Amino acid sequence: MSAANFRYAVLVEYDGTNLVGWQRQKNGIGVQEVIESALNNLTGSTVAIQAAGRTDAGVHASGQVAHFDLNKQWPTRRLIEGLNYHLRPFAIAIIDCRAVSGDFSARFSAVQRQYFYHILTRTAPAVLQAGQVWWLPRPLALEPMQQAAALLVGRHDFTSFRAAQCQARSPVKSLSELSLSSISLEGGLETRITITARAPSFLHHQVRNMVGSLVQVGLGRWPVERMAEALAARDRSRAGETAPPQGLVLARVWYPELDFYERSDASLT
């Protein structure tokens, strides 16, 4: 768009259950096309948006960030309310919106990305949390999982945890954090484990492939050291299977020039 002079960043939440992921696909509806269509309905113009991370089918977001350009200035509150009106039939909502400078990129300006992966272990299948956790009928040993996770933190060649279709130029990535917490619920009848993964950027399926391997450790099928061997092998077949998408949530993206989580009364104009 030649006249595009006003750039906006939005904080986006979506339930990925019935979506094919961020990007348009032949077999269903993508988040990007739904938001672009809402922008079109709201502004009357064709507007393209770009996201911090292209989540896969079934993966959720509580803190996805995207940016787009409009050819006139909009009050951010009107953008939030107008977009949410047009998004209504879909499990997608604009949580916040900020005007940003023309050189801000939701994708390229991001300095850190954080995902949560939720696991529920109990005898009974997930019901109230169905579609938002990986349910496992057996308990997981947290401490060995934490030890194995620590082996992956740092700068490594993550080929063993990289999807075949990954388009990143290099398999070398810096993993800033891979930590686990667990909470025992219903008087010990169930345990909810949350795995936090944070890095400047991730390879395709990297978080889910790391989680799949951590679960092997938690189930006692792998000794902790096997995580180091899997990493060193630089061979996808040596790591665990890809954890299912529904446990994964893109939770937060950090930018030097934008912080949705720092509030001020003037932030909604």
**Of residues 192 and 238, the one with the C-beta less far from a copy of itself:** 192
What is each CA distance from 219 to 5, 114, 140, 194, 261, in whole angstroms?
A: 54, 25, 5, 16, 36
Is 26 or 188 the residue whose CB approaches a copy of itself more closely? 188
Cα separation, 57 vs 18, in Å, equals 8
**To the nearest whole angstrom, how small is the minimum distance from the Cβ of residue 170 to a copy of itself?**
33
Residue 2 or 264: the one with the smaller Cβ distance to a copy of itself is 264
Answer yes or no: 56 catalytic: yes
* Closest distance of CB 259 from a copy of itself, Å: 8
Closer of 1 and 189 to a copy of itself (Cβ): 189
The active-site residue out of 56, 96, 103, 265 is: 56
Contact indicator for 77, 269 with CB cutoff of 8 Å: yes
**What's the closest the beta carbon of residue 158 comes to a copy of itself, in angstroms?**
28
Segment 33-36 long-range contacts (CB within 8 Å, at least 24 positions apart)? 34/87, 34/90, 34/92, 35/10, 35/66, 35/83, 35/87, 35/92, 35/94
Query: Which residues of this protein are in contact with a copy of itself, per CB under 8 A?
Result: 11, 13-15, 60, 62-63, 77, 80-81, 84, 88, 91-96, 122-128, 130, 132, 186-190, 249, 259-263, 268
Question: Residue 51: what are its φ and ψ, rounded to 5°?
Answer: -110, 160
Burial letters for 175-188: b for 16+ Cβ neighbours within 10 Å, e otherwise? beebebebeeeeee
AA identity, residue 52: A
Q: Which is nearer to a copy of itself, 67 or 122 (CB)?
A: 122
The residues annotated with a catalytic role in the active site are 56
